Structure 1
Amino acid sequence: MPLPLVVAPGMLCDASLWSDVTFPEGHDVHHVALTRPDIGALADDVLSAVDGPFVLVGLSLGAIVGFEALRRAPERVAGLCVMATNAGAPRPEQRAAWRELDDLVTAGRFAEVVERTLPDMFPDRRPTAADAERYRRMARAVGPDAARAQLAAQPTREDAFTALRSARCPSVVLAGGRDTLCPPAFHHAIAEALPHSRMRELPDAGHLVPWQRPDAVGAALQDLVAAAVAA
């Protein structure tokens, strides 16, 4: 039976993040929305999306959720693809920034949060007008309630490197060479921790890799699913 793919987006992102990506033909794709205020609960959502083994795909916060799903049920994760992410524990300055953004959402200033986060999504923090508006539409579709849940979930994550080092599934790590939020160095560390990983740095991509290099994401998933099925 073909392996399903379980796909988790980043913060303020939804399934439209992957709309330009060609997923492997013949494999069901299940998108998981990030709407709960705890990484463990979100990992449970990923694990309950399908029965049995699956290929896990995550970007940014979605990849962090994927790391926790891998820690909880490594036997379920037949393949792992992560991008634009960080496997380390939260830093004090990150916690402060998340609190500030949550205060803005609580005060009814969600649009300001979208504008603050927008530059970090694009190569060198310089989006085109069309790309910026595309991000605004997606973030508005996610909405302030889910944004608050995601901001609450961020500080509940833990260092994931122990889980990564014990992984036995084939893995692929994709890094945007112009990602100012999660630079390539973060991904080299992740790839070094995963025993059966392949890393690809995409020089022209920023944080939203599936928008900026959907071809590379699709090709990576084709190779990963083939490896997972063979394994």
Structure 2
Amino acid sequence: MTAAPLPLVVVPGMLCDAALWSEVTFPEGHPVHHVALTRPDIGTLAENVLDAVRGPFVLVGLSLGAIVGFEALRRAPERVAGLCVMATNAAAPRPEQHAAWKELDALVAAGRFAEVVERTLPDMFPDRRPSAADAERYRRMAQAVGPTAARVQLAAQATRQDALAALRAARCPSVVLAGGRDTLCPPAFHHSITEALPGARLRELPDAGHLVPWQRPDAVSAALRQLVAAVAAQPASARPVW
């Protein structure tokens, strides 16, 4: 009997929603489940990912969504049959990041969410230089996420931990995508992730910034097709069971 196609559990980055993936062509036949970032700590968000489907799945995450994915992998490696992460960082937060998140949270709490969106906007695009159309597209998505979720996501950021040990223990096919012009999570971050993940494949996209699914949907689509093919090609003894 041929196994049914594994579901994909897809997790966006901060101030992003399912619109982030609107131009990505997901592998045909594979159910796609989008998980929103609506809890104030990485552990609970990871449980949301694990609760999204029953049994094994392929995990796809960008930025904070990938960090949540790292924790899901640490908690239930037998569930994660394949892993695709992009525009992210597996290291613990730095003191200056904690300070920046507190400042942004204070602005949102003061009713200045639009200012927070404008502060984060440049980091989403190659070399921090979006076109007017791209900037407006990001504003619309961030406003759809809204200030309440933004504060929750900022709180979750502060609960991050170094994920490299969990990645070293992974045994699933993995692909890492890095925007060559991502000023927020530069390629060096992804080299560290790839070195930690056994057998992972790194693809650096020279023309992409942080929002890789918008800037290179073709590359993301191709990577996902290759990943699910690699998962399907694993010997039966190496596949996750449930």
Residue 36 of structure 1 pairs with residue 42 of structure 2: no
Gaps of at least 5 residues in structure 1 are: none
1:203 to 200, 203, 206: 206
Aligned ranges 1:26-175 → 2 under 5 Å: 26-175=29-178
Residue by residue, what CA displacement relative to the aligned partner does 1:176-209 show, whole Å, maximum 9, x if unpaired? 0000000000000000000020000000000000
Aligned-pair CA distance for 1:230: 1.8
Q: Displacement of 1:15 after TM fit?
A: 0.2
Secondary structure in structure 2 of the residue aligned to 1:68: helix
Amino acid at match of 1:110: F
Bigger radius of gyration: 2
The amino acid that maps onto 2:177 is L
Pairwise CA RMSD of aligned residues?
0.4
Cα distance between partner residues in 2 of 1:225 and 1:37: 31
Match of 1:183 in 2: 186
Tell me how far 1:86 sits from its aligned partner: 0.1
The code of the aligned residue for 1:222 comes to R
Return the alpha-carbon distance in structure 1 between the equivalents of residues 137 and 35 of structure 2: 20
Number of aligned pairs?
A: 231
How far has the Cα of 1:47 moved from its partner? 0.3
Alpha-carbon distance in 2 for matches of 1:215, 1:153: 30
**Structure 2 partner of 1:217:** 220
Distance in 2, matches of 1:38 and 1:192, equals: 26
Distance 2:53 2:232 in 1: 16
Structure 2: stretches of 5+ with no match in the other structure = 235-242
TM-score, scaled to structure 1: 1.00
Identity across aligned pairs (percent)? 85
| Separation in 1, partners of 2:180, 2:125 | 11
Query: Displacement, 1:44?
Result: 0.3
